[in-house]
């Protein structure tokens, strides 16, 4: 699919400058290069995660729970965190069927001391961190900004989870990730790419998340920091929260949490700055910057049918 999109983009860009034969030749070369890159960057994930020390937030349900279970099946050593003790214990029980190396931390990731406790647990139990997956998120029910009674409080609570958890957890784990040449995985959304109405607080947090990690990636390159960042904007995933928040969509347009987790785990070893688990987000991520007005108009006209892009 990616190769087809690349070829189409190439055709649109070059059609007024080159003949069709040259266009096809260039498209073919790009397609071959894309396939070669995918083949070269492919990793045996069954082996990759064995013994990896993984910190995972938002692990009590949905995507986080699926990630934890699949990581445990692949032999990872896990520190999982969430606010709800019983649901977190349920996730741990499922993971313990596959590996004894699963530890929990009851944590509110908007709080500095809780973020410190998560990293301290990984260091205490495993001696460090190899992969930091920032999955915890707060997604309020969609509503118009004009209907917020106390918008500053709403924005503060959303940013506290969706942005500041990343700042805190990266701060506390960076020295350990540096030693292990580790990977940071910010879990994001299409709402961090396009302009989405009725989710202004959530969209703001995801745009800010992208800005933070793009800047941090530049710093890592300039300072020769051997830590990779892989930003993962997700499509509409059929979790309890997403289905509740986006009832007009129905249940046929998304992917399951299990499928999403599997795609994410295939992407992490590639160490790409951006990794899209779904072609729709790949397309939007590459084209929105060129034609934002088109996407904005399309979103306004078809919000109930396109919101699956913006989980």
Question: What CATH number should be reported for the domain holding residue 163?
Answer: 3.40.50.720
Model pLDDT for residues 173-217, shown as the tens digit of each residue: 999 999 999 999 999 988 888 878 888 899 999 999 999 999 999
Exposure letters 138-166 (e unless 16+ CB within 10 A, then b): bbeebeeeeeeeeeeebbebbbbbbbbbb
What value, to the nearest 5°, has the Cα angle with vertex 135 and ends 168 and 99? 105
DSSP lists the bridge partners of residue 186 as: 134
Strand (E) or helix (H) holding 103:
strand 102-106
pLDDT of res. 278: 86
Model pLDDT for residues 106-165, shown as the tens digit of each residue: 999 999 999 999 999 999 999 999 999 999 998 887 888 888 889 899 999 999 999 999
pLDDT of res. 165: 93
Q: Which residues have CB under 8 Å from 255's CB, separation 6+?
A: 235, 236, 237, 238, 263, 277, 278
Identify the residue with better confidence: 182 or 5.
182
pLDDT band for 5, please (50, 70, 90 cuts). Answer: very low
**Are 92 and 176 within one domain?**
yes
**Are 231 and 207 within one domain?**
yes
**Are 104 and 184 within one domain?**
yes
**Are 36 and 177 within one domain?**
no
pLDDT band for 280, please (50, 70, 90 cuts). Answer: confident
pLDDT of res. 244: 59
**Are 36 and 79 within one domain?**
no
**Are 193 and 107 within one domain?**
yes
Residue range 5-27: mean pLDDT, rounded: 51
pLDDT of res. 311: 44
**Are 34 and 62 within one domain?**
no
Predicted structure pTM score? 0.82
Model pLDDT for residues 53-101, shown as the tens digit of each residue: 999 999 999 999 999 999 999 999 999 999 999 999 999 999 999 999 9
**Are 155 and 61 within one domain?**
yes
What value, to the nearest 5°, has the Cα angle with vertex 229 and ends 206 and 202? 10
Cα separation, 266 vs 287, whole angstroms: 24
**Are 33 and 133 within one domain?**
no
Provide the 10 A C-beta neighbour count for residue 92.
18
Domain count of the fold of the chain: 2
Residue range 271-276: mean pLDDT, rounded: 95
What value, to the nearest 5°, has the Cα angle with vertex 209 and ends 39 and 252? 65
Instruction: Give the torsion through C-alpha atoms of 196, 115, 66, 234, to 10 deg.
Output: 20
**Are 32 and 78 within one domain?**
no
Model pLDDT for residues 24-63, shown as the tens digit of each residue: 665 566 555 545 555 445 678 789 999 999 999 999 999 9
What value, to the nearest 5°, has the Cα angle with vertex 181 and ends 176 and 182? 70
Q: Which positions are annotated as active-site residues?
A: 202
**Are 17 and 95 within one domain?**
no
Pairing of strands 77-82, 102-106: parallel
Query: Taken in order 81, 84, 89, 94, is the CA torsion positive or negative?
Result: negative
**Are 29 and 58 within one domain?**
no
Model pLDDT for residues 211-245, shown as the tens digit of each residue: 999 999 999 999 999 999 999 998 877 666 665 55
pLDDT band for 248, please (50, 70, 90 cuts). Answer: very low
Residues in the chain: 311
- The parent domain of residue 255 ranges over 47-309
Helix axes 200-222, 164-180, angle to 10 degrees: 30
pLDDT of res. 210: 96
pLDDT of res. 237: 74
């Amino acid at each position: 699919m990616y190769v087809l999109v690349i070829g189409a983009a190439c055709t649109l860009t070059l059609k007024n400058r080159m003949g069709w034969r040259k266009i096809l030749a260039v498209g073919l070369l790009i397609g071959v290069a894309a396939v070669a890159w995918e083949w070269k960057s492919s990793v045996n994930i069954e082996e990759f995660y064995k013994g990896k020390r993984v910190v995972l937030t938002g692990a009590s349900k949905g995507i986080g729970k699926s990630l934890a279970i699949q990581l445990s099946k692949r032999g990872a050593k896990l520190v999982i965190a969430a606010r709800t003790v019983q649901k977190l214990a349920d996730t741990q029980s499922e993971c313990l069927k596959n590996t004894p190396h699963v530890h929990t931390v009851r944590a509110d990731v908007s709080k500095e001391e809780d973020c410190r406790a998560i990293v301290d647990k990984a260091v205490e139990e495993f001696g460090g961190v190899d992969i930091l997956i920032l999955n915890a998120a707060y997604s309020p029910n969609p509503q118009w900004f004009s209907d917020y009674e106390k918008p500053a409080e709403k924005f503060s609570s959303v940013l506290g989870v969706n942005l500041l958890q990343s700042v805190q957890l990266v701060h506390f784990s960076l020295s350990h990730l540096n030693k292990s040449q580790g990977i940071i995985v910010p879990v994001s959304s299409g709402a961090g790419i396009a302009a989405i109405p009725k989710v202004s607080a959530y969209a703001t947090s995801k745009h800010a998340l992208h800005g933070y990690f793009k800047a941090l990636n530049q710093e890592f390159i300039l300072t020769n920091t051997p830590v990779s960042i892989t930003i993962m904007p997700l499509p509409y995933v059929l979790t309890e929260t997403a289905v509740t928040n986006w009832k007009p969509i129905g249940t046929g347009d998304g992917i399951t949490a299990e499928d999403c987790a599997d795609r994410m785990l295939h992407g992490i070893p590639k160490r790409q700055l951006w990794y899209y688990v779904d072609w729709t987000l790949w397309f939007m991520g590459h084209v929105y910057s060129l034609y934002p007005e088109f996407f904005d108009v399309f979103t306004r006209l078809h919000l109930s049918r396109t919101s699956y892009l913006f989980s």
